[in-house]
Structure formats: structure tokens, C-alpha cells
Structure 1
Amino acid sequence: MIFGLGAEVEAHGQLHVERFLAATALAWRLADHVRIRTLFRFAYHAPTSFSVNSMTENLIVFAHGKESGPWGTKITQLAKTAERRGFDVISPDYSHSQEPQDRIDQLLTLAPRAQRLVLAGSSMGGYVSAMACAALQPQALFLMAPAIHFPFPGWDGEPLGIPKRCTVVHGWHDDIVPLAQAQRFAREHNAALHILDSGHTLNDRLPMLDLLLDQLLADVLQS
């Protein structure tokens, strides 16, 4: 199904579009950087002027992990949580590259804007989201097992501009990203750190992830 002039939309429920995109350049830009789709029994409500250059009210932008996709288990679940709070949802597809800087550049080029912007990321997506904070200046950041503070080229950037509303969720048994790295990030940025009885994916703790994201979004909405 074609949305506007080129951005691809996969619909698995009812798609409500209030206004088609009008500019060819914008449509191709969205096509290159975003795959917007609805979930089963989950209608995506496009804002009246959905544009990376226009200001929407509430928006959350997810960043998936290194080898996952834009609509994996966690993002699919958490997108529903965000929409219940009145947030529009974007989950770009970064699978064309496994280089962190490529993904950071893609997010910065997308340049999402909103009165209340929230970035969320899992594993490598957590690093991408954190590194984009200085430029995008989100109101909140939600990180799940973020691949931060690795001493390797391309992974060793120091995140700046982390918002005061920052939640980090990590597993005690994470064998990919050491817990100490999440603890260091939380300590340096005064972030709320939640350590769960889980591994790297955190997929067995979806209800708790739901609750923590919901609490963060509620706090953002009160600001």
C-alpha cells in the first residue's frame, strides 16, 4: 500500500490517514528512512501534517538492535503502549548497515521533531538513540540493554545531551552488554536504572518494560 508519493506502509489492521503527503522530496525521504506500519488491532493514526520537518505533538522514535528489525517483539509491544498514551510511533529500518555511525546518521537525517519527543532503543539501538540526543534534544530517553561504553572503534562515543528523564533497563544475566556499562551510564547521567532477572533481549519481561515505558511517557505528558 502506498502512502503519499513513495513512503511504504504495511497495514495489518485499519489504517487511518488524515492527510496524504504532498511533497515528492519528503515522500522519498520518508521512504528511505522510515517504514510505517500498523499492528494487528492497532491502528496507526498519522498526524494531520506528518513530516519530519513539521512539529507534531507527541512522538516516540524506536531504534532496533544490531541484528533485529524495526518491528521485533519489544518494539511491537511497546508501540502499543505508546499509542495508548497518545504518541505517534516511528520505527526506522536500520538493517541496511551494522555500523553504529551509519545508523546514527540515518536518525539525524530523519530529524524527527515533536513538542514531546521521546527516543527509545534496544542494544545497538540504545547506543544510536543515546548518541542522537545532543542533536535531537528529546524530552525523554528509554534504553533497553544499551550497547554503550564499549571500547571499540565506532562504539566508543560518549553520549551528550541526555535528557533528565532517562530510564535504563538491563538484565542481570545479560551476556552481550555487561551490566557494569549500564550502571556507568546511569551513574554519569543520573538515569533511573532498573535491573531485571533477565538476559540481553529482555523479551521475557515485556509486562515490566510496558510498565516502565508507560511511567516515563506519563511523566513526559505532565511536563
Structure 2
Amino acid sequence: MARVIYFAHGQESGPWGSKILLLADIARSRGLAVESPDYRFSLDGLPRLTELRRRLADDPRKKLLVGSSMGAWVSCMAASEQGCQGLFLMAPAFEMPDHEPAHLPRKLPAWIIHGSEDAVVPVSQSETRLRGGQDRLLRVPDGHRLANSHDVLSRFFEAFLNQNAA
């Protein structure tokens, strides 16, 4: 069955920011379809979550979810939907004001890359969510945007795809 990657951008970024462009090229080079919805219609996570759930329900393909910051919260909250097979999260905002905290869904592998110098979302949010064997956390010496870590981000994403998109 065909596979698709759904990207969820952060609160103040857009659907084709530098990290998503980088990772989308890697995914396409492996024959995976790519969807990157534009969530700029709301700064709130709940309408974004509703939109992603609608899209997932309408898509019969097997899905991998990739999220950055608030987009990681959206991806985590939707990951238990039918057909989701794994999560790749960048600087995930598991805890946000006025929102239910996100947790990694059971039985889905989750790979997280988080800057140890992140002043927006502390890396401790990622460290406390790990469940053991199926999860991976890569700490990099970078800030929230992971702007200086694109090479390691690419390699980590390729390893995630090797293990979860076969």
C-alpha cells in the first residue's frame, strides 16, 4: 500500500519552511508522497488538530506524521488515528497553555530531535515523554528552530524512514 508523510508546521511558520522542504525532498527521493497542510488559519492547536484528523480520515494510505513545535503536538494528538505508523518530532511542544498535554501514543514508534539550547520548548518536555525501546531522542546543540542542525536532522530522518517506511 502507498505511504504518505503528513507534515505539521509550527505555530508561527508555514507549510514549506526550511525543515519541511529538507525532509520532504528526502521523503520524495524514497518514493513517499508528501502532504504539508497550511495551518496558518489559526494560531490555536485545536483547529489545526481538527483539520489534520479530517485529512487523515479521508486518506486511505499508510501514514507517517512529522511535526515541529506546535505541529508536533498536533501530530501526537492525531497519531492514534487509523493508518498512522510512526511519528518524527522536532522540538515538540508537548505542553502548551490551554491545551491538553500531548503524550506519545502507545505502539507507535516516535523519534524526536530537540535542541539542548531550546529556549522556547525545554528539551525536558521530550525527555520525560520517552517510553523506552521504540522511541529515540536525539539532543543537538541548537535552539528551537534547529537551524544549525540540518545535516544531522537529515541523517536522523533518513534513519527513521529506514526503520518505519519500509
Relative to the length of structure 1, the TM-score reads 0.69
Alignment gaps of 5+ in structure 2: none
Alignment gaps of 5+ in structure 1: 1-55
Distance 1:78 1:194, change over 3 A: same
Q: CA deviation at 1:175?
A: 0.2
The reply to whether residue 208 of structure 1 matches residue 152 of structure 2 is: yes
Q: Aligned with 1:79: secondary structure? A: helix
Instruction: Show the 5 A alignment for 1:144-163.
Output: 144-150=90-96, 152-154=97-99, 156-159=100-103, 161-163=105-107
Distance 1:135 1:195, change over 3 A: same
**Amino-acid identity (%):** 35
Aligned to 1:217: 161
Query: Is residue 88–residue 111 contact of structure 2 (8 Å, CA) maintained in 1?
Result: yes
Aligned to 2:122: 178
Q: CA deviation at 1:214?
A: 0.8
Aligned to 1:90: 35
Query: Is residue 119–residue 129 contact of structure 1 (8 Å, CA) maintained in 2?
Result: yes
Question: What letter corresponds to residue 113 of structure 1 in structure 2?
Answer: P
Aligned to 2:61: 114
Instruction: Show the 5 A alignment for 1:48-67.
Output: 57-67=2-12
Q: CA deviation at 1:188?
A: 7.3
Relative to the length of structure 2, the TM-score reads 0.91
Aligned to 1:43: none
Q: CA deviation at 1:91?
A: 0.1
Q: Aligned with 1:109: secondary structure? A: helix
The reply to whether residue 76 of structure 1 matches residue 76 of structure 2 is: no
Aligned to 2:137: 193
Cα distance in structure 2, aligned partners of 1:159 and 1:168: 13
Aligned-residue CA RMSD (Å)? 1.8
Question: What letter corresponds to residue 120 of structure 1 in structure 2?
Answer: V
Query: Is residue 138–residue 163 contact of structure 1 (8 Å, CA) maintained in 2?
Result: no
Cα distance in structure 2, aligned partners of 1:189 and 1:158: 19
Cα distance in structure 2, aligned partners of 1:201 and 1:90: 21
Q: C-alpha offsets along residues 65-118 of structure 1, whole Å, 9 cap, x if unaligned?
A: 000000000001110011111110000000000111110000001123313x10
Q: C-alpha offsets along residues 31-53 of structure 1, whole Å, 9 cap, x if unaligned?
A: xxxxxxxxxxxxxxxxxxxxxxx
Cα distance in structure 2, aligned partners of 1:188 and 1:137: 23
Q: How many residues align?
A: 164
Cα distance in structure 2, aligned partners of 1:174 and 1:184: 15
Q: CA deviation at 1:198?
A: 0.4
Q: Aligned with 1:185: secondary structure? A: coil
Query: Is residue 90–residue 112 contact of structure 2 (8 Å, CA) maintained in 1?
Result: yes
Q: Aligned with 2:7: secondary structure? A: strand
Query: Is residue 65–residue 121 contact of structure 1 (8 Å, CA) maintained in 2?
Result: yes
Aligned to 1:103: 48
